Structure formats: C-alpha cells, structure tokens
Structure 1
Amino acid sequence: MKTHRHPHHPKRPAAPALIAICAALALGTPAVQAQDKAVQIKLSSWVPAQHPLNPALQAWADDIKKASNGSITAILFPSEQLGKAFDHYDMARDGIADFAYVNPGYQPGRFPVMAGASLPFLFANGKEGSAAIDAWYRNYAAKEMKDVKYCFAFVHDPGTFHSRKKITLPTDIKGMKVRPATSTVGQLITSLGGTNVQASAPESRDMLERGVADAITFPWGSIGLFGIDKVVKYHMDAPLYVTPFVWVMNKGKYDAMSAGQKKVIDEHCTSEWAQKVAGPWADFEFGGRAKIAAQPGHEVYKLTPEQLDAWRKAAAPSEAQWADTVKKAGEDPKAVMDALKASLAKYKSAL
C-alpha cells in the first residue's frame, strides 16, 4: 500500500547528488550552464515616434533578445525623450543611454574623418551606401569615437536643397540663409556666400516658417514627415549629399555583459546590420520624391550637366578644407577618401 508523504517534509536529495551539482557549478560545466543575467538596454533615438528608423531599431533589438535567449531586452525612447539630438554621443558616453543614434555632423569639428562622408556628390543611394560607410568607418571609429563602443554607421538616402526660392547654380546661394544638414554642407554654404542657420531636424520647420532660413538641405521623405513641405516649394532633384549617422554603445554597459552577451552584441554590430537598419528609412526617403512631385504648387527640377558640373567645382574647396582638418587629426586625407570611394564602389553606391 502506497503511503502519501506529508507535503511539509519533502524527501531530501541524496548527498552525492548535491555534491555533483556543486562541483558542476564550480567548474562551470555545460550541463548546468548558469543562465546569463538579465540585462536591459535603453536605446535613444531623437527622431519622432512615427519615423521609419524607430521600427528598424526595434527589430534590431528584438533580434538581440532572441539571440541572447531573452537575457538582453531593450526599451526604445524616441523623440528626444532622454535628451536633445545634439547630445546623443555624450549620452552614450555617460550612460544616459546604453545605445544612442548620433549625427556626428551636429558637432562640427569633433569627428573629422566621418565628416568626409558628408562631402557633396559621393553617395548614389542609402541602402548600399549604409553598408559602404560602415565597412569604411570601422577602421577609424576606435580612434575617432574612443569614448563609446562603436556599433555601426549608416546614411539616409541622398538629400538635396528644398527652398522658398529656386536654386539652380552655386551662385544662387549668395546672401541666402540655409539650414545645412551637416557641418560639411555648412562649409559649402559659407564658401558660396550664404549664412548657416543651425537647427536640428525637429526645429527646422519653425525656422523656415519664420523666415529665419530660406532653404534647407534634407532628404525627400522627411520633408513631409517634419511638415517642411508646407513652407518650401522648390526642390532640386540631385543627390547632393548624405548625412552619416552612427549607432554607438556605452562602454561600461558592454563591459559588464557576459562573454556570450558580448558576442550577441558584436554579431549585431556589422555592415550587414547597418544596411538592414537603414533599409526601411532609405525606402521611405526615396519614396518622398514622387510624393512631393505630385503635390500641387511644388516644383521638382533636374539640373543640366553644366549646372551639375558647377556644383561639383563649388564643392572642391569644401574637400580641401576637410582634408586640412583630417591632417590635423593625424590621418592622411587622401588615403581616407580613397578608402571611402573604394568602399562605395564595392557596395555599388558610388555616384
């Protein structure tokens, strides 16, 4: 006849079993590998919640969760919730965010090598361009962005001038007030006799509306997203520039992770992931051109070969200026630019 054991007196495990478990734990044998401790990472993005970059970053984080068996979870904070767009590099450095979306061009002079990627007329597209810029910048990131752990770099689909008066030639910039996307575009504006008006993307519509700026350099889809299509009506149809971005991590957060978790992060910080994360945004920006062209009262215009040539010539002093800053930072500007162009050619993103 079976006797029912009293629930308050469970059978004690035999001593040898306990000893085996303790020994296995002490040796860290695979049989009872301790589960990685749970880590939550804060991701900071300064673009509005509905921007296509945010779901792409979320998908990246979801893949990390899966690859880490649920031990690394993430919360994404869009719309400058953790801090201003201009501060995101320092937010990653200081641990205000564990990962931060950074526009290096928001801090002119701080990242001279990366500024080369925003020189005019280099990139033909955003998707392949993102893999190209990442593969290139990996060789410089550890030195130029040494306060953070570099994850990857990417670009948006090429942007151009959107303005309240038509711009066809470089000489048209003289006397104009322009909000440049990057410090490199800003140098071009200054060299052409224009004035730069600094404003982050979320502040730009207001600047144009109040007449503080006459024109802006911006990618196509975002013109509608930020409501800038309500205040400008002329749009130059030329791949003038791209803005380089980086996705960087707080070093301390990375260092505190287990070896397995670090490996998961490293496997999500690649050129392939740069292109995956940038892809939906590139599609969105590219699609903006047709949307604006279909709006009544907007003029989207191509440049003649002569006009395009004039712009390329006008951009040459910006490259010379950039080369000086790179030399001062201890790099060879020709080698840096040749490497970027080779990477663009390799990834089919050269103009």
Structure 2
Amino acid sequence: MRMSCLALLVAASVTPALAQEKTFDLKISHWVPASHPLQKALEDWGTAVEKESGGTIKYHVFPAQQLGKAKDHYDMARDGIADVTYVNPGYTPGSFPIIAAGELPFLMSNATGGSEGLDAWYRKYAPKEMKDVKFCLAFIHSPSAFHSRTKKIVVPADVKGMKVRPADATMADFVTLLGGTNVQTSAPEVRDTIERGVADAVTFPWGSLVLFGIDKVTKYDMDAPLYVTTFVLVMNKNTYDQMSDRQKKAVDDNCNTEAAARLAKPWGDFEDSGIGKVKAESGHEVYTLTADQLAQWKKAAEPLVKTWADGVKKVGVDPDQAMKELKASLAKYNALAH
C-alpha cells in the first residue's frame, strides 16, 4: 500500500511537468536553393533537436527565400516571422561590426576549423552584437576568390573600373578601395546580374558557383584563399523563452561550437569539390597567384583591418584584443591562414 501511494506521489509530481511542455513546430528559414548542402544540414540540425526534446520540438525548413529576402533574415528571427534563420551579417553593412572580423582577407584556411574558431571566439560578443535574438552558432564557407566574365583578375589593380558583386560588406569595401564598383544582389540573383552585364565579376565559393549556374556566365577563376563569408544561425527569443528546461537544453546542445562544425563540414566539402568541376569545364581558366601577386593582395587588404577596427571601437570593443583572440581561436582549430 505504501509503495503504491509513493508511486502515485511520484507520478503526480512528474506528470504536470511533462503536461506543461508545449509542442513547437519550428520554422527554419534560409535563402539558398533546397539543392544546396545547407538544406540537409539544417534538416539534420532540426532532427537532432527533435530527438533530444523527446519529439516535442518539430521543425520545417523553408528554403529559397520562401519566408523573406536573404538580407531580412536577422529581422525575421527577431520579429518571429521565422523561429530559426540563417543570416549573412555582411548583407547589412555596419549592423554587425564585430563578427565582420571573420570577413577580413587571408585570415582563415578551411571551412570546418574556421567555423569552430569563429564560433568559439564570437560567443563572447554575440550577446552584445545580436541582442535582439538568441544566438545559436556561427560558421563560414570555404575560402574563395574572384570569378570574372570579362578578364583575369591577377593583381589588385585589375579590379579598377570593374563592376563586382561582393560576397559581404568587407569585400564591398575592398572592391571600392581598389577602384571597382559594387553591385549588391543576393546569391540566387548573381547569375542573372552577370549575364545581363550589370556585374563583370563576383566573389563566390566554388561549389556554389556551379550550383547557382554562375559558372555558365564566368570564364576566369582565381584560386586563392582571398576571403570567407561569415554566417550565423539565430533564433526568435520569444520562442526559446516559452520552452521547458528540457526543450531549451535540446536547443542549447545543438547551439554550440561542435554543432557549428557539424553544420559547416558538409558545405565545406561541397565547396572544396567544386574547384575540380570548374577546372573540368571547357571555357574556364582557373589560375593561381605567384608569391609576388599574393603579397600585392595582402598589402592592398591592409586598410580593411583599420576600417574593421574603427567599426568595433565605436561599439566599445578593443580591436587589437578581439583580433588577437580570434587568431588564437583559429590557430587552436588549425584554421589560421599563413
């Protein structure tokens, strides 16, 4: 009798807690095609959260700007249009000056380690810089460079007079610095922009060059680790705050540096495999840079570091300390470019 009473008491104490758990159906939004490796990576992320929440957090991935434009994805998470969004901070220049450090040329050598290094470093700054949302994780794509329709871009002076679609705000500053003109457009619109002659060249990773069909309208491809683009996954705060402790833990366990690497690796492998595809295509010239040419690019990029430093000083961050920490984090994960 005593045992059955105890069992009833235990059951009574457990059942209400589980009964209070709402079921969530997360809208996960991104802006690349469903055929992009990010689609499966986000589905895997959602599946992991669903499993660890005991099935109380479901998800649905919306690709290809179905819920909103690429540049609006941070605001979409903030405003609850989507629950989880994939954001390119560089699509809104000046809004996220700290994480823009990751966009500086010749800083990172590979996607997986670069993502781990960036994520581990940015966790200290995300609550300040992205306070309107719950920061989940940060990652990058593989190091990439210029692809041009009109001429080979070998030295910085070659950019002068060209119309370039930059990958992010830092590359936009670089194009301006070199005497080029920026053409702002989201990734899905790049092929059409170049085909119509609105832009002459683009900074874009290799695998995506083929996926978006941009290889059909470009001819000359620089093979150099010129830049990477930083990305983040962020979540609507209200959605997260309504969750039970168990549900929050399911999210938190997939919003860490290890999860950043899991998300980045398939995409990194996909981009790295793209260079072979482009080399195999007729009508493409893939070229490397000499040591002297590379030195010219690094010299030309130096003012970008000062521009970044000035931006973070305005938000009360010591740029020297922040950069020192970022380089140490990248070195720890074997992703600091030399």
Q: Bin the TM-score by the shorter chain.
A: over 0.9
Q: Determine which of 186, 189, 205 is the counterpart of 2:172.
A: 186
How far 1:99 sits from its partner (Å)?
0.2
CA distance in 2, matches of 1:319, 1:210: 33
2:100: which partner in 1?
115
2:57: which partner in 1?
72
1:134: which partner in 2?
119
The 1:141–1:32 alpha-carbon spacing in structure 2 relative to 1, beyond 3 Å, is: closer
1:258: which partner in 2?
244
CA distance in 1, matches of 2:246, 2:307: 44
1:152 matched to 2:137? The reply is yes
User: CA offsets, 1:316-345, max 9 Å, x none?
Assistant: 011111111111111111111111111110
2:186: which partner in 1?
200
CA RMSD of aligned residues (A): 1.7
Conservation of the 8 A alpha-carbon contact between 1:44 and 1:78: yes
2:26: which partner in 1?
41
1:304 matched to 2:290? The reply is yes
CA distance in 1, matches of 2:120, 2:6: 51
Q: TM-score, normalised by structure 2?
A: 0.96
1:83: which partner in 2?
68
Q: Which amino acid aligns with 1:98?
A: D
Q: Aligned to 1:300, what secondary structure does the other structure show?
A: strand
CA distance in 2, matches of 1:33, 1:215: 57
User: CA offsets, 1:178-221, max 9 Å, x none?
Assistant: 00001001111101111111010001111100111111000000
Conservation of the 8 A alpha-carbon contact between 1:178 and 1:215: yes
Greater Rg, structure 1 or structure 2?
Answer: 1
2:208: which partner in 1?
222
How far 1:25 sits from its partner (Å)?
6.2
1:346 matched to 2:336? The reply is no
How far 1:268 sits from its partner (Å)?
0.6
Q: Determine which of 110, 121, 128 is the counterpart of 1:143.
A: 128
Conservation of the 8 A alpha-carbon contact between 1:156 and 1:242: yes
CA distance in 2, matches of 1:109, 1:37: 38
User: CA offsets, 1:85-113, max 9 Å, x none?
Assistant: 00000000000000000000000000000
1:92 matched to 2:77? The reply is yes
CA distance in 2, matches of 1:31, 1:231: 61
User: CA offsets, 1:265-284, max 9 Å, x none?
Assistant: 11110100000011110000
1:210: which partner in 2?
196
User: CA offsets, 1:114-134, max 9 Å, x none?
Assistant: 111101000101011111110
How far 1:34 sits from its partner (Å)?
2.4
- Residues 225-244 of structure 1 mapped to structure 2, 5 A cutoff: 225-244=211-230
CA distance in 2, matches of 1:185, 1:322: 12
Please list every run of at least 4 consecutive aligned residues from structure 1 whose deviation after the TM superposition is greater than 2 angstroms.
17-21, 23-26, 30-37
Conservation of the 8 A alpha-carbon contact between 1:44 and 1:99: yes
Q: Which amino acid aligns with 2:213?
A: G
2:316: which partner in 1?
330
1:278 matched to 2:259? The reply is no
Q: Which amino acid aligns with 2:98?
A: V
Report sequence identity in percent: 59
CA distance in 1, matches of 2:335, 2:97: 22
CA distance in 2, matches of 1:320, 1:292: 35
2:154: which partner in 1?
168
CA distance in 2, matches of 1:39, 1:90: 21
CA distance in 2, matches of 1:89, 1:185: 20
How many residue pairs are counted as aligned between the two chains?
334
1:105 matched to 2:77? The reply is no
CA distance in 1, matches of 2:260, 2:172: 26
Q: TM-score, normalised by structure 1?
A: 0.92
1:245: which partner in 2?
231
Q: Which amino acid aligns with 2:234?
A: V
The 1:328–1:32 alpha-carbon spacing in structure 2 relative to 1, beyond 3 Å, is: closer
CA distance in 2, matches of 1:133, 1:341: 9
Conservation of the 8 A alpha-carbon contact between 1:119 and 1:319: yes
1:50 matched to 2:73? The reply is no
How far 1:31 sits from its partner (Å)?
7.5
CA distance in 1, matches of 2:110, 2:30: 22
Conservation of the 8 A alpha-carbon contact between 1:25 and 1:33: no
CA distance in 2, matches of 1:31, 1:48: 43
1:313: which partner in 2?
299
The 1:19–1:237 alpha-carbon spacing in structure 2 relative to 1, beyond 3 Å, is: closer
CA distance in 2, matches of 1:267, 1:81: 28
Q: Which amino acid aligns with 1:348?
A: N
